[in-house]
Amino acid sequence: MLHFDSMNKDRFENALIETSSLLNSYAKSALPVKVDLLFGQQAVEIFEPRYAVQIRQLKGLINRFENTQFYACSVTLRMFLGDIEMPQEMRLFHSDDVVKGMIPERMVQGWGYIKV
């Protein structure tokens, strides 16, 4: 799990590069690995126009690897985006607490956790 709870362009780009490298490595070895990208309330500024390149990279990652999921809080995104249509790649939740609740649940299941 990669948990974005604030937005730092350099960290975000590095996380995408590392995630892509990890997924490529596992794809070549035929070992299954699943990566969930969790976006908390403080990270929704990723949808600002200044992050267009990173959004394209994120969408490319999600589209290239079916074992990559994108999770975000729908209420926060609606407040931030207004009437802008939400990206279809997202799994949206009604509360940021759901995203936060996924973390301990997945860790009990043996998932790794990286806070970006």
Of residues 84 and 34, more confidence is placed in 34
**Residue 66 belongs to domain with CATH number:** 3.40.1260.10
Whether the per-residue pLDDT at 90 is higher than 80: the answer is no
Number of domains comprising the chain = 1
Q: Give tens-digit pLDDT for 31-73.
A: 778 888 888 777 777 777 778 888 788 878 878 887 887 777 7
Instruction: Name the burial class of residue 79, with classes exposed (0-12), middle (13-18) and buried (19+) by CB atoms within 10 angstroms of its CB.
Output: exposed
Per-residue pLDDT at 107: 92
Cα 66-71-74 angle, rounded to 5 deg: 135
Asked, for residue 26, whether it belongs to a domain, the answer is: no
Q: How confident is the model at residue 6 (pLDDT cuts 50, 70, 90)?
A: confident
Give me the chain's average pLDDT, please: 78
In single-letter form, the type of residue at position 39 comes to F
- How many angstroms separate the CA atoms of 15 and 21, rounded? 10
Asked, for residue 100, whether it belongs to a domain, the answer is: yes
DSSP 31: -
